[in-house]
A and B are shown apart, each in its own frame.
Chain A
Amino acid sequence: MWDLSAQALDTARLRGAKYADVRVMHLRQRDLTTKNGQVGTLAQSESIGLGIRVLASGAWGFASTDRLTREGVSACAAQAVSIAKASAIAKRREVVMANEEAYVDSWQSPFRKDPFEIPLETQLDLLLATDAEMQRVKGVTLTETDLQFRKIDSWFASSIGSRIHQRKVISGCGIVATSFRGEEIQKRSYPNSFGGQHALGGYELVESLELIKHAPHVAEEAVALHAAEQCPQKTGTLVLGGSQLGLQIHESVGHPIELDRVLGEEANFAGTSFLTLDKLNTLQYGSDIVNVVADARLEHGPGLGSFAYDDEGVPAQCTEIIKDGEFRGYLSNRETAHLVGLKRSSGTMRTESWNRLPIIRMTNISLLPGTWNVDDLIADTDDAILMETNRSWSIDDRRYQFQFSTEIGWEIKGGKKGRMLKNPSYSGITTEFWNSCDAIGNAEEWILWGTPNCGKGQPMQTMGTGHGASPSRFRNIRIGTAFSK
């Protein structure tokens, strides 16, 4: 692979590129699903190719190819340079890149059991047995399970001399029970909705989640929701479960801190951000117990946003985003760092595949644990609604106004978790919401949730991001607006 990278870099330099970086990537994926006791998807794929980004005539060009021959790679590099020169037709300023050292390194994410080495029969048996457990529950009308495994090798080389090989092994799984009755469809998922839980790791992640054990309870709750009371419409106290809070962090902290959005580079598609540059170090983003970091280092946990180097060759870092409630930092790259007074990129350039340009992406954006034992938090709450497991999410294109609904809710009265509520939802304005946080669960309840499907960029790229969260409490929240008339 290094020969191909060197060939691409040499061609780019000879054609006039001032800077170039190359990614050769080999991606393997296995998907297994079941539905109503039958195998659904059973597929495996692999893809290998090369993408090169060049800076020539003061502008960027990128080209990619699956022709991994000397001729194919040279042609691709030459195409990237010619595209960069065309970009210069509509150029307004010179690209300035923050300095970075050259690194020669190799890294592999930790795992104990290679999921691609576990017999397929074992994996399917697990899903079919889990599916059968859900099917046993009367009133369930649809049962679904899924496993997904990925192995991604990338070889990064740049014209400043970096040569970095990284291998990631990613595992994920989830189950869903759906119940249709009368004029209502209800569902419950485990361990999270929309694909379940995903993390860096091997088959041990799947085993640790004990799908079969949880299946009956998931199915029973889906059916029980029909008889539950409708979540009321009111302004009141909200307690969020960890996975839902993880998505709240993703949407109302993770995206607005992306510096490309802030600078208008996503204005046509994903949108911009309310976090204009004047807000840095001045905005009270949340209450003083709110502390959020962007941490791509493995010591933060095996999240989908963990790596050793980003796809621009910058080492993984921990960046303070919110400190004691105050807004402290953005996600940046080598091109944008100087615009917020940084001497160095925060290391967040990531690409989905060899045929996509790296762009600023979330790493692990996590709410640091607070001090509350969750039982104590509930005991301390007189009147609230506990909401768990996302069902829908939506936020405006500047990331102010959001609305989430969850699969299930529970009334909290007099410090005790009481009756089940169906169709829960809440809404608000980002900074008002985070400033209303008055209790955060402690480290024992903290889980690094994986969001495997974050879409951004044109052409669209999906990326996995991590979000550490523990159950937390928020005051004066608008509840039940999704079903307002």
Chain B
Amino acid sequence: MPQSELRRIIDSVLGLAKSIGVAETEVHVDDVDDSLTRFANNAIHQNVAERGLTVSVRTALDGRTARATTNRVDEDSLRGAIEVSLSLAHSQPKDPKLLPLPGKQRYRKVSRFVGQTAALTPEDRALAVRRACDLAVKRGQVAAGIFASGQAQTAMGNSRGLFAAYRDTHAEFSITMQEPPAASWAKANAANVRDFDPQALAERASEKAHRATNAQELAPGRYTVILEPSAVLDIAGFLFYDFAATAIADKRSCLNDRMGKQVFGKNITVADDAYHPLQMGAPFDGEGVPRERVLLVDRGVPKNLVYSRASAKAAKKKPTGHGFALPNEHGEAPMNLVFGGGNSSIEEMIASTDRGLLVTRLWYIREVDPYEKIMTGMTRDGLFLVEKGRVGAAVRNFRFNQSLLEALRNVELLGPAVRATGEEAFEMVVPAMKIRDFHFSEVTKF
């Protein structure tokens, strides 16, 4: 759908709202066109496509606000959404802290729409899947995974003249190669489908799965670990909601009483940067405020938080463009994390390790202690013993119970930061890490 059509819908809602006397109105329009080819047992077993458009209306009047969302765009339905929003808003007590809508903003341009990705067909995806599955068959393995592609656009406008729009394409290939009882995994995603090679990912997963057979059981305990970038992403992603100013105000952040202190090692620096060339996402937040680059951690010291307009006002700071669409109780969060990297390759990390574990990915991570940030979870799809500088036998998967704060104090080496993707956290730009004294508490049966 052309962007002009999204704008027409926004203008139509704003016009309708004005005609019935609504003081302030904000409209979001989201348009998705996604496809996903899923395979298992060396064959495609699910293959889906989805197309949908949603219109979300927030009205605000006299210190009251609420949201109504519909996927019907005829005039009666849009008017109905305005009326539902008004009715919800009227039902609540006045909030004297509710801010007026923001006015017109300026946005930096980002270019993340790639025609080749948008043009990908079911046949293109099926052929790539077929090649990966043929590799599995040839090697006596079993492949499972996805090849997804699509495009999305979002536009928002409000009655104070703000208008923002963004579109992107996205492609993702993820593969698990099984050589019973072992399995391994590789995954990539990007705006441009040509930025990754599905067959190379299949080869990598296949080779690691083969090496992962005959896993030996080790005793739980503290080990030096070499976390591949996906594994770092999986666990580190749980830290960053704590950088929301609202989380600090609510006293649910592990950074309460820790801002400005040496919480992490001096080799840890993290920014939130929506404009980084390896990042994706809109250059504005849920209220239409432009996203700013924010230095969150500077050489191990948590330096800055991210702010929505409301949390910024409460803290007498500037909004950073990280707010969620209102109304909500969570406030804001950094969504485009970029870690500072190092110059150690994974091979160098291995070579420098007398005894440790090489970790492909982590799985089912949950928070055990919200202030010490103790996380639990499992290793998955390829855990290998490193001895005397070389990768050795595969090891049965461990459960970890590890403080994330402590882990980021114990980082000995970092690799170059790359765009990584996993299943436990959103994509980020993150390096592989060698971490000492990582705590594994129990072992499973495979």
Residue ranges of B at the interface with A (Cβ–Cβ < 8 Å): 34-54, 56, 65-72, 84-85, 87-89, 91-93, 95, 121-123, 125-127, 129-130, 133, 142, 144-146, 148, 174-176, 178, 183, 185, 250-252, 256, 327-329, 363-372, 374, 376-378, 380, 397, 399, 401, 423, 439, 441-446
Contacts and interface: CB of A to CB of B under 8 A. Distances in A.
Interface in A124-157: 124, 128, 141-142, 144
8 contacts: A42-B89, A44-B85, A66-B51, A87-B126, A392-B367, A396-B399, A425-B368, A485-B439
A252 interface: no
A43 interface: yes
A55 to B, nearest CB: 11
Contact of A92 (B42, B92, B376): B42
Contact of B441 (A47, A400, A481): A481
Nearest 7 CB-CB pairings of A with B: A40-B329, A120-B91, A86-B122, A401-B444, A45-B69, A267-B144, A180-B251
A435 to B, nearest CB: 15
Contacts of A80: 49
Contact of A49 (B52, B89, B122): B52
B327 A43 contact: yes
Given A45-B68, A267-B144, A90 B442 contact: no
Contact of A483 (B95, B250, B368): B368
Contacts of A184: 371
A90 B95 contact: no
A120 B87 contact: yes
A88 B407 CA distance: 47
B401 A484 contact: yes
Contacts of A359: 46
A52 to B, nearest CB: 10
Interface string A17-58: 000000000000000011110111111111111000000000
A185 B252 contact: yes
A184 to B, nearest CB: 6
Contacts of A449: none
A265 B368 contact: no
The listed residue with most A CB atoms (<10 A of its CB), out of B35, B42, B123, B399, is: B399
Contacts of B66: 42-44
Given A64-B52, A397-B364, A39 B92 contact: yes
B374 A483 contact: yes
A48 B72 contact: yes
Contacts of A76: 51
A396 B364 contact: yes
Contacts of A83: 35, 47-49, 122
Given A42-B88, A90-B43, 20 more contacts: A35-B329, A43-B66, A43-B67, A46-B70, A48-B72, A49-B52, A49-B71, A82-B122, A83-B48, A86-B37, A87-B37, A89-B127, A89-B129, A92-B41, A144-B329, A185-B251, A266-B144, A355-B50, A482-B368, A483-B374
A268 B40 contact: yes
Contacts of A394: 364-366, 376-378, 399
A357 B46 contact: yes
Contacts of B88: 42-44, 120
A144 to B, nearest CB: 7
A229 to B, nearest CB: 16
A180 B50 contact: no
A359 B363 CA distance: 22
B17 to A, nearest CB: 16
A394 B397 CA distance: 14
Contacts of A180: 251-252, 256, 371
A185 B445 CA distance: 34
B123 A40 contact: no
A209 B159 CA distance: 42
Contact of A60 (B47, B121, B442): B47
A224 B46 CA distance: 51
Interface in A346-396: 355-357, 359, 391-396
Contacts of A119: 91
Nearest to A59: B44
B70 A142 contact: no
Contacts of B126: 86-87, 89-90
Interface of A: 33-36, 38-49, 59-67, 76, 79-80, 82-84, 86-87, 89-93, 119-121, 124, 128, 141-142, 144, 178, 180, 183-185, 263-269, 271, 274, 355-357, 359, 391-398, 400-401, 403, 405, 423, 425, 427, 429, 458-459, 478, 481-485
The listed residue with most A CB atoms (<10 A of its CB), out of B42, B126, B365, is: B126
A323 B444 CA distance: 26
Contacts of B327: 39-43
B442 A87 contact: no
Contacts of B123: 86, 89
Nearest to A401: B444
B176 A267 contact: yes
A332 to B, nearest CB: 15
Contact of B44 (A46, A91, A400): A91
A403 B441 CA distance: 10
Contacts of B70: 45-47
Nearest to B174: A268
A266 B144 CA distance: 8
Contact of B39 (A66, A90, A355): A90
Contacts of B442: 401, 403, 427, 478, 481
B69 A86 contact: no
Given A185-B252, A267-B178, A482-B368, A84 B47 contact: yes
A178 B380 CA distance: 33
A264 B142 contact: yes
Given A42-B66, A184-B371, A403-B399, A63 B49 contact: yes
Nearest to B45: A265
Contacts of A48: 71-72
B378 A357 contact: no
A124 B91 CA distance: 8
Given A183-B372, A396-B380, A274 B68 contact: no
B43 A64 contact: no
Nearest to A405: B368
Contact of A90 (B130, B363, B399): B130
